[in-house]
Structure 1
């Protein structure tokens, strides 16, 4: 495979970019020709991917590229990889505003997709969906998921359960605890875990992953409709359902679930994943589906034997059939020089060949052509949980860039001061930012 890589340094944190600035950056970028099924086998040339993944995630991306090149020998890939930590939207903005051209971008944030589309930086993929008959491989829900304001911009290639907690089977066995299914059972595991010097719950609050608890607790407290309204600022951040969510989260803090909060604030999601699955110093971790691939390929653990997952425990508030999900998509940039090959790759991502590569890597494919027998035991649990749930996209990825930064900072402040006054101050601060963010 002729595959080159390039690393681009970018700002660690998101930068403020006005819509007018983004429009200026996108001015003059031509919208390229669409996909032709007849020419799918004849595509050639270089496909440039703007990438921000690393580790096992990037390994899987390269596996897909290698398989596509094997079927389309005239194609090569160039991966322009951004450097940075945490939320990568700022790094992507910096690269695009700096003139970085690419055919494809991997995106995880619906709000960011809308921002880029509004700035004229994305190509409409509606004709690709129709011409390549992608609806034969993907359900309409995935077309809706990849759309902003009714226009298709993203092709989902994997999705995951964000209301699942990962744990070490050996640690649970040593503590004598089973997977909790109710809030009361959840709280009852804490003293047993502490008795073997294990902090019950891992919380990486340094950058973004502390939001996972607020977001699933919000779903289980108020349901999908209220969560969707909050994401769109249809209700205020000072609404009683937000207060109720913080109060429920406070119960965990008061129960000593997270141990020393200063340690949580100094730790990111990767550190806490290692603490749970590798070191066994923490009991459970509410974190995304990429953890499964990381546990298998990087930590070399046996899926379903060394570790497993359980769905967030039931609160009994009438919304326990809800789950938070995420999705990773490819969007096509207007600056790309090879839209024909890029579209052929996007269409191929929905086929059985691509879906099965994704499944073998420990991730769920949205394609109905995937061989589900390839799913490991942990992934099967996650897929089944998603299938039977009322779903809501992860809240943090739906919020505009400036708002999500303030949201995460204020959640950190809550962890430091979960008093009634502290909660009121946090809600007021997020609402003040939301009032100017939409």
Structure 2
């Protein structure tokens, strides 16, 4: 996260069960027929777009795609437009490049990396926000979130969806049987892992097949241990990956990754486990599950719900532990920004809508969603825990940090099998090779930033 400090939340003890129904595949999803524009009584003014079609691309699937579809359906009702959802592949910048080269870019896309916004602007793909979208952005977003969607002072993106990526979810039955309690520090976290291991359950599930989960592990340790100033500098590559602060963070991670017995399936198993499975295997089988804890964001609740575990009873969550002497518990936040790839009032109208509380309210009520929109009434969230997370995010104002890898060039921080993702997967495989990992990270980062 980028800003002037570290966002913190209190201990989180429950999250409501979230909708887990998926939605069909295919190259396009028609959100529904056009509707007569209607006034919603919330003061938001949108143009009449009857007869117009708008394509929106995002990498969302399953429950995320379904709930975003409800947001788009409301836009249809208000404008008369027909919205078509275009499923995109990750990395989305490559997907968009292919679409643009073929002369068929979508009107709007949701970009999950700050670096992707900068790259798209450098390629002259994006259109700046129009006056109506800018007005909603200025009214509803802290300056820090506005800046994340801007390049050289020009606003391009609206951060519609955010995520808290600093939570550790745990199987309550496994904890109770082991006599374990929620740790607050990294030292306590490792001791808890040993306690659970002694009870006969593997303590930690790691989704190492998805490199982005490993960047989140690193970023949480690094932010807590090195502090926000160093975090910002490493994100901008104004200090190298060979810096001693990176050495310390990798050494800390190796205290866990270097003990295969603490990882579900061992090292090889962790490297073959994708994120969704890393969550579900932690909550399938009660106290005999394959793992007792899994680290990842608030969005993990969707996967937990798929196991039938009752969130708040069978599954609970605590903040990522503070690392090092005097370290504070970190919160790393990610987000998805809506950007326009086509001129015209249709794309701008959708961005204006997505910057409004009216759009955020729809998905917030479905769960599995966190909005940086300060105009959104917290009562829109379905439970007290999500309201607490949202209040902490909004209350932080500009005082927050954004996912580091998402701020970097996508070739380094956001591409499967390459850059930071690959280097950290290699590190998980051989956590003793700290110097070699740093050298590879620096070589890849230097190449990406130069490009």
| TM more than 0.5 | yes
Separation in structure 2 between the aligned mates of residue 223 and residue 254 of structure 1, nearest angstrom: 24
Alignment correspondent of 1:60: 67
The equivalent of 2:242 in structure 1 is: 238
Residue 325 in structure 1 maps to residue 350 in structure 2 = no
Q: Which runs of 5+ in 1 are unaligned?
A: 9-36
1:140-167 deviation digits (Å, cap 9, x = unpaired) = 2221121122211111112111111122
Partner SS for 1:285: strand
State how far apart, in whole Å, the 2-side matches of 1:319 and 1:395 are.
Answer: 18
| Structure with more strand by fraction | 1
**Pick from 384, 393, 408: which aligns with 1:399?**
408
Describe how 1:44-123 pairs up with structure 2 within 5 A: 44=50, 45-72=52-79, 74-83=80-89, 87-123=91-127
Q: In the alignment, is the contact (CA less than 8 A) between 2:126 and 2:341 conserved in 1?
A: yes
Query: How far off is 1:385 after superposition?
Result: 5.3
Counterpart in 2 of 1:311?
A: 319
Q: Determine whether 1:412 maps to 2:425.
A: yes
- Pairing 1:127-276 to 2, within 5 Å after superposition: 127-130=131-134, 132-208=135-211, 209-255=213-259, 256-259=261-264, 260-276=266-282
The 3 A distance-change label for structure 1 pair 303 and 41 is farther
Question: How far apart in 1 are the matches of 2:93 and 2:282?
Answer: 28
Deviates more, 1:241-250 or 1:400-409: 400-409
Aligned partner of residue 318 in structure 2, secondary structure? strand
CA distance in 2, matches of 1:68, 1:306: 37
- Report the CA distance between 1:299 and its aligned residue: 4.4
Q: Is 1:161–1:325's contact at 8 Å kept on the other side of the alignment?
A: yes
Distance 2:44 2:430 in 1: 61
After superposition, give the CA deviation of every residue in 1:296-316 in whole Å (9 maximum; x if it has no partner).
4x4455443332321111224
Q: C-alpha displacement at 1:39, in angstroms?
A: 6.8
Aligned mates of 2:284, 2:218 — CA distance in 1: 25
Helix, strand or coil at the partner of 2:98: helix
Q: Which has the higher contact order (CA 8 A, sep 6+)?
A: 2
Structure 1 counterpart of 2:6:
none
TM-score (norm 1): 0.83
Of 299-308 and 233-242, more deviation after overlay is shown by 299-308
After superposition, what is the alpha-carbon deviation per residue over 1:88-127, rounded to whole angstroms, capped at 9, x for unaligned? 4433433333333211001110001100011110010153
Contact 1:7 1:81 in 2 (8 A): yes
> For 2:373, which of 367, 376, 401 is the aligned residue?
367
List gaps (5 residues or longer) in structure 2.
Answer: 1-23, 29-42
Q: Which residue of 1 aligns with 2:8?
A: none
**TM-score, structure 2 normalization:** 0.81
